[in-house]
Amino acid sequence: MRAFAALYDALDRTTSTNKKVAALAAYFAATPPEDAAWALYFLTGRKIKRLIPSRVLWELTRDLTGWPEWLLEHCYAEVGDFAEAMALLSDPGDAVTPVDLSLARWITERVIPLKDMDGGSQREAMRRYWSELDVAQTFVLNRIITGELRVGASATLVIRALAVVAGVPPATMAHRLMGDWPPTGEFFSGLVAAAPSEPAVSRPYPFFLASPLEQAADSLGPREEWLAEWKWDGIRAQIVRRQGAAFLWSRGEELLAGRFPELEAAATHLPDGVVLDGEVLAYRDGVPPFAVLQTRIGRQKLTPKV
């Protein structure tokens, strides 16, 4: 946990992309795979569902300090961040009883088990955790537990750092990270291997997204040679056809299994190894509003009407 908290702080303190990449690469290169896997989980925007209501943690902070509510609210207003305010207010100072557990052990042995505890047990556990960590580590822990861990580095920078560690092009690393993956040491070791094992059959390719033109329009060449593509109001997706199966992925790297069975069935007629990147559209006397497609996205089980 200490190393991850130090990385979190380092990323937050600089605006230099090169320094961020260097800090990330140094962390991934020196950290045990099981810790690096969980760090990567958080650095790529994944979260553990909120385990304890923020109000419960705030009440615990009040009990530990013995301060009135108005004074705590004033401290929070000065700090401007809920997790940081609690970390500062609950700091045991010289009375800290340090426990230097790895990030993976903190998550698997202490954080995740909180969801199965009753309220009283959660309070006692958090009281103990706060007494074992310094302010920087408590700050990170609070954000993980409340599901509000925001990192000062984009996924692109994380991919660049991993590419440096693995010695592969960033595009290759981006492809390795696509889709679902478990935060395990085994996964991370394979991820940064120069020649990893065969990738998951269902894995899509990184989505190439449009970006604003930063140069003058004339830099694109003669206008009579331009090609324009209609902007359809649909869902960006990839259909992957491999080893006799078909997989449909959203741009957000969500496997849309069963959401569009018509497309999955049609994809079985594609040659093996084909990947199509495009827009999922509904068509009924023309292209209907995007809201029609949204009725599919949130459903795990489709009815004939949908």
Amino acid at 171: A
231 carries an active-site annotation: yes
Beta strand pairing call for 275-280 and 245-250: unpaired
Q: Which residues contact 167 (CB under 8 A, 6 or more apart)?
A: 194
b or e along 169-186 (b: 16 or more beta carbons within 10 Å of the residue's beta carbon)?
A: eeebbbbbbbbebebebe
């979190």: which residue's tokens? Answer: 8
Which among 166, 165, 176 is positioned nearest to 22, based on CA atoms? 165
CA–CA distance, 48 with 148 (Å, rounded to integer): 9
CA–CA distance, 128 with 283 (Å, rounded to integer): 58
Q: Which of 47, 49, 231, 301 is an active site residue?
A: 231
Amino acid at 281: L
Q: Mind telling me the catalytic residues?
A: 231
